[in-house]
Amino acid sequence: MIAVKDVYFTYPNGVEALSGVSLAIRDGEFIAIMGQNGAGKTTLVKHINGLLKPTKGEVAVDGVSTRKVSVAKLSRKVGFVFQNPDHQLFCETVEDEVAFALRNFGFKEQLIKKRVTWALSLLNLTRYRQTSPFMLSGGERKRVALASVLAWNPDIVILDEPTIGQDYQQKEKLRQFIVQLNTQGKTVIIVTHDVEFVAECNPHVILMAQGKIVAEGGAKETLTNRDLVTQAFIVPPQVSQIFFELSDLKLPTNVIDVYDARKVLLDRLEVSS
Amino acid sequence: MAIIETTDLTYTYPAGTKLSLQDVSITVEQGEFVVLTGPSGGGKTTLCRCFNGLVPHFYGGKLEGNVVVTGLKVGEHSIYELARHIGLVFQNPENQLFALSVEKDVAFGLENLGIPRGDIRKQVDWALEITGITDLRERPPHELSGGQQQRVAIACVLAMQPNVMILDEPTSFIDPVGAQKIFDVINELNKKLGITVILVEHRLDLASKYANHVIVMDEGKVVLDGEPREVFNSDSARLIGVGIPKATRLYQILKEKGISLKKVPVNSEEASQLLREVLTHDRG
Ligand SMILES: Nc1ncnc2c1ncn2[C@@H]1O[C@H](COP(=O)(O)OP(=O)(O)OP(=O)(O)O)[C@@H](O)[C@H]1O
Ligand SMILES: Nc1ncnc2c1ncn2[C@@H]1O[C@H](COP(=O)(O)OP(=O)(O)OP(=O)(O)O)[C@@H](O)[C@H]1O
Ligand SMILES: [Mg+2]
Ligand SMILES: [Mg+2]
């Protein structure tokens, strides 16, 4: 359980990045935070793993204020993948990178080996086990960052822009894995601009603008609400745009997925023929 | 006229254990808007680095085959010389930004070209405006959000207005409305000034409507090269994991159920128009 209570945050340079954010996230939820550049998304999620502490207000994870635990301790519970993978990669091989946190948390070598093998295979990185993370492509580096966090199986997983550099197959694999985490009762929070990925994942969506949460709701209702998407600088998913352009034909306007779209169209064509 | 031509480009990074490029032969005509896509690790960034000379001049290693850009053989010209003609927006914006303020970063390339001060000012103002970061001009780039940094990286290249603009996943950190606005501007530069654009993208829903040429790379090789409609609708594009536009995907899965649209749509406007025909025709 994550409780964010009326949080304000100001960076040392005077920029107020959060202006009164309150939020409650239950165990096992899947949340996507979306919104304009500079809205405060990254700043907000950095509060959940304790990297940043509120200037005013409080953030508590499982009832404990983030001011009262060390980041090191909290990170066992809250895994965090940075927006830019270069901020978290520093080991000489991909294998060491993925094993790093596991070693820190005191896992046994044998288990570490197993977890590393598992995480590398999940993220299609097996062939890079002995490679330096700095000799990989952009998308591959992002996947090493993902692997290094997913490896220790934290209860809360925060992924800042997880789909950057990822092709469709990698995204689909990631989507399936997130679903699996949710069924295990784990909480997943992603920050993303990738509307098509959100349309396929169907998470609970939180929209931010100028340091505040402006709306939240199901992916379908938020991404097809014209006023909301405009406010949050989002372009609706392509399927939703198609149905919007056909709205005079009295088709439903809350369709965001291609298979849902096909069903609606087939129903309509059958009825009319 | 071909503005970029590669013949049998083959390359392995000095520390690499496999070929990152393998017999890549492509031609890009002056004024084209090319989308370069394909699976992660396929060689897209490496190919872009061959266009502005980072490969082989900066990364080292042996580049076999030929690459000619704006009439210059890349192997025979320095990165500095090539930069007069070719601008590259890096996949990771932070690797491109180093000045103490946004404004200084954007002006840097222009100052290097020895452009008069007044003109620099004008071009910098324009680039900042277009990318929506005018109010960040005094800020240090390392104190910006991810998307704000990426906007600066794009502004740096836009300000130079090079003959060839290469953008490596330029909007991965940028909000969709901002991304669309930037793509619109790039499209305008392409159509009005004839600037050749090479855009590396995984998310094709936003970008594909501007493209008139699509190249797909996988495992260091060019696997598809042609007109967007053909490439997006080919079986292999989907099978190797290209995120084809949802409009095209909808066309394909409707066809599975026996509903054929008259042509293959690549964006929402086309799809809605084609669907409208089917829906209203069947009714009457
Ligand atoms: N500096 C480097 N040294 C050694 N190998 C490298 C280096 N950079 C990339 N590679 C390898 O070269 C291949 C092509 O990488 P490249 O960055 O061109 O891929 P990409 O298509 O841009 O992928 P992405 O979509 O993930 O950015 C990959 O297998 C990668 O691991
Ligand atoms: N290290 C920093 N120092 C000072 N100001 C910062 C810093 N990081 C971010 N900011 C500012 O705080 C505000 C919120 O930034 P944040 O990174 O949370 O935005 P975001 O919603 O994640 O944006 P993006 O979509 O671009 O990643 C922005 O105005 C930004 O310029
Ligand atoms: Mg961010
Ligand atoms: Mg790349």
Q: What is the Å distance from ligand 2's center to B145 Cα?
A: 3
Q: Which of B180, B165, B123, B171 is nearest to B149 (CA)?
A: B171
pLDDT at residue B284, rounded to an integer: 46
Q: Which of A168, A172, A244, A234 is nearest to A205 (CA)?
A: A234
CA distance B263 to B261: 6
Question: DSSP assignment of B2-39, as one string?
Answer: EEEEEEEEEE--TT-SS-SEEEEEEEEETT-EEEEE-S
Domain ranges of chain B: 2-228, 245-284
Q: What region does B60 belong to: left with phi over 0, alpha with psi -120 to 50, or beta?
A: left
Q: Which of A11, A235, A258 sits opposite B250 (nearest CB)?
A: A258
Helices (H), A49-89: 71-77
Q: What is the Å distance from ligand 3's center to B94 Cα?
A: 13
CA distance A15 to A12: 7
| Residues within 5 Å of ion ligand 3, judged at the Cβ atom | A 42, 83; B 145-146
When the pLDDT of each residue in chain B is averaged and rounded to a whole number, the result is: 93
Contact state of A168 with B148 under an 8 Å Cβ cutoff: no
Question: Which residues in chain B (13-32) have CB-CB distances under 8 A to chain A?
Answer: 13, 15-17
Helix (H) or strand (E) holding A235: none
> Is B60 in the A-facing interface, judged by CB distances under 8 Å?
no
Q: Is B228 in the pocket of ligand 1 (CB under 6 A)?
A: no
Q: Which atom of ligand 2 is nearest to the CA of A36?
A: 25
Intervals of chain B under pLDDT 50: 284
Contact state of B143 with A38 under an 8 Å Cβ cutoff: no
Q: Which of B102, B136, B145 to mutate to test the pocket of ligand 2 (most atoms within 8 A of CB)?
A: B145
Please tell me the residue having the least CA distance from ligand 1 atom 18: B43
Contact state of A37 with B272 under an 8 Å Cβ cutoff: no
Contact state of A233 with B283 under an 8 Å Cβ cutoff: no
What does the H/E/C string look like for B49-106?
Answer: HHHCCHHHHHCCCCEEEEEEECCEEHHHCCHHHHCCCEEEECCCHHHCCCCCCHHHHH
pLDDT at residue A230, rounded to an integer: 92
Helix (H) or strand (E) holding A170: helix A168-183
CATH superfamily of A2-236: P-loop containing nucleotide triphosphate hydrolases (3.40.50.300)
Q: Is B108 in the pocket of ligand 1 (CB under 6 A)?
A: no
List CB contacts (< 8 A) between A239 and chain B: 246, 250
Report pTM: 0.94
What DSSP character marks residue A129? T
Q: Which ligand is nearest to the CA of A44?
A: 2
Q: Is B20 in the pocket of ligand 1 (CB under 6 A)?
A: yes
Q: Is A64 in the pocket of ligand 1 (CB under 6 A)?
A: no
CA distance A247 to A229: 17
pLDDT at residue B282, rounded to an integer: 58
The CA-based diameter of chain A, rounded to the nearest angstrom, is 66
Is CATH 3.30.1490.20 correct for B2-228?
Answer: no
Q: What is the Å distance from ligand 2's center to A15 Cα?
A: 9
Contact state of A249 with B172 under an 8 Å Cβ cutoff: no
List CB contacts (< 8 A) between B148 and chain A: 37-38
Contact state of B268 with A246 under an 8 Å Cβ cutoff: no
Tokens linked to B257 = 């159920």
Q: Which atom of ligand 1 is nearest to the CA of B59?
A: 1
Q: Which of B110, B86, B111, B82 is nearest to B162 (CA)?
A: B86
Q: Is A139 in the pocket of ligand 1 (CB under 6 A)?
A: yes
List CB contacts (< 8 A) between A170 and chain B: 39-40, 241
pLDDT at residue A271, rounded to an integer: 64
What DSSP character marks residue A114? H
> Is B281 in the A-facing interface, judged by CB distances under 8 Å?
no
Q: Which of B41, B179, B253 sits opposite A140 (nearest CB)?
A: B41
Question: DSSP assignment of B168-220, as one string?
Answer: ESTTTTS-HHHHHHHHHHHHHHHHHH--EEEEE-S-HHHHGGG-SEEEEEETT
Domain with CATH 3.40.50.300 in chain A: 2-236
Please tell me the residue having the least CA distance from ligand 2 atom 1: B143
List CB contacts (< 8 A) between B168 and chain A: 138
Q: Which of A37, A46, A210 to mutate to test the pocket of ligand 2 (most atoms within 8 A of CB)?
A: A37
Tokens linked to A183 = 């069924």
Cβ(B246)–Cβ(A239) under 8 Å? Answer: yes
Q: A234 to chain B, minimum CA–CA distance in Å? A: 5
Q: What is the Å distance from ligand 3's center to A167 Cα?
A: 21
Those residues whose C-beta lies under 8 Å from the C-beta of residue A99, and which sit 6 or more positions away, are A112, A115, A116, A151
Intervals of chain A under pLDDT 50: none
Contact state of A245 with B268 under an 8 Å Cβ cutoff: yes
